[in-house]
């Protein structure tokens, strides 16, 4: 079995300033979005509709706000509401850690709705543009979790070749679930969505594919990830991450059906 390398979570120190690997992964994720979105401009219908690089840059600004504010508030509301209700001033202490993908998703949805309204563009068209550009950033975020040695997996059989001991979790070998999630929700989802979105699709289909794809992959990966210690497993033996993924899957299926019916009615 393997032992987690115990990386220093601080990548660079400049005097009193400490730059953490996790923060660098966020920056790399935003840069990856910018690079991919500029290439997405070549896809239909966006090329014919006259989307421009400045649209991507403006969208990224609002998306960053949605990720950070939504991710933080989602963590507060979904994972530790009582803790932050007792100490509300800690909500802004982002350096202590604590971000939620599902909260970040809601934040991005709202930010893109705001941007779409300002630009007088259909919201679902905007989300179809954004969806394939997101998973690479998710993969980088999971890499940051692995570097930090956090969000480790459930106990694994010692004979599993890639079972790993995370010192902070004790001597028991565990699944490196951060890498599972990086591979599934990040790299595999990106490859599938990018391939699917290269051809023009019905409005809403790419967004639906993202919701279902992420929801299913996250739900599966949660079986290998250690549940949050203060929450444990909830009803039906599901983790909080699984319960939050179920509405995504349902919404994705509903959106896909709506896109098909709308296309047939036109």
How far is the CA of 108 from the CAs of 23, 124, 137, in angstroms?
A: 18, 13, 13
- Enter the tokens of residue 78: 């979904």
Tell me whether residue 42 is annotated as binding. no
Chain center to CA of 148: 17
The helix/strand/coil state of 138 is helix
Q: E strands within the chain? A: 2-3, 10-14, 17-20, 164-165, 173-174
Burial profile 174-186: b = 16 or more Cβ within 10 angstroms, e = fewer? bbbbbbbbbebbb
Q: Which residues contact 150 (CB under 8 A, 6 or more apart)?
A: 97, 168, 178
How far is the CA of 91 from the CAs of 6, 23, 78, in angstroms?
A: 28, 18, 13
Q: Which residues contact 171 (CB under 8 A, 6 or more apart)?
A: 165
Alpha-carbon distance 125 to 240, whole Å?
30
Pairing mode of beta strands 17-20, 164-165? unpaired
The helix/strand/coil state of 17 is strand
* CA atoms in the 13 A half-sphere facing the CB of 74: 19
Binding residues: 142
């Amino acid at each position: 079995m393997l032992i987690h390398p115990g990386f220093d979570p601080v990548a660079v120190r400049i005097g009193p300033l400490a730059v953490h690997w996790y923060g660098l992964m966020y920056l790399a994720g935003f840069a990856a979005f910018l690079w991919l979105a500029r290439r997405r401009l070549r896809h239909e219908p966006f090329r014919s509709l006259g989307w421009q690089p400045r649209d991507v840059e403006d969208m990224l600004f609002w998306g960053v706000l949605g990720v950070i504010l939504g991710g933080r508030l989602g963590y507060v509301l979904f994972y530790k509401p009582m803790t932050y209700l007792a100490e509300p001033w800690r909500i802004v202490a982002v350096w202590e850690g604590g971000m939620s993908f599902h909260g970040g998703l809601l934040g991005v949805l709202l930010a893109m709705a705001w941007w779409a309204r300002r630009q007088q563009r259909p919201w679902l068209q905007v989300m179809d543009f954004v969806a394939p550009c997101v998973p690479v950033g998710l993969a980088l975020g999971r890499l940051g979790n692995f570097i930090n040695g956090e969000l480790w997996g459930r106990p694994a059989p010692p004979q599993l070749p890639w079972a790993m001991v995370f010192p902070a979790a004790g001597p028991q070998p565990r699944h490196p679930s951060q890498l599972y999630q990086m591979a599934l929700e990040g790299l595999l989802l990106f490859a599938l969505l990018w391939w699917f979105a290269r051809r023009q699709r019905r409005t809403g289909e790419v967004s639906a594919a993202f919701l279902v794809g992420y929801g299913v992959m996250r739900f599966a990966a949660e079986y290998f990830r250690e549940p949050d210690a203060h929450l444990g497993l909830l009803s039906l033996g599901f983790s909080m991450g699984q319960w939050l993924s179920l509405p995504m899957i349902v919404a994705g299926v509903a959106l896909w059906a709506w896109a098909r019916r709308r296309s047939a009615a036109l």
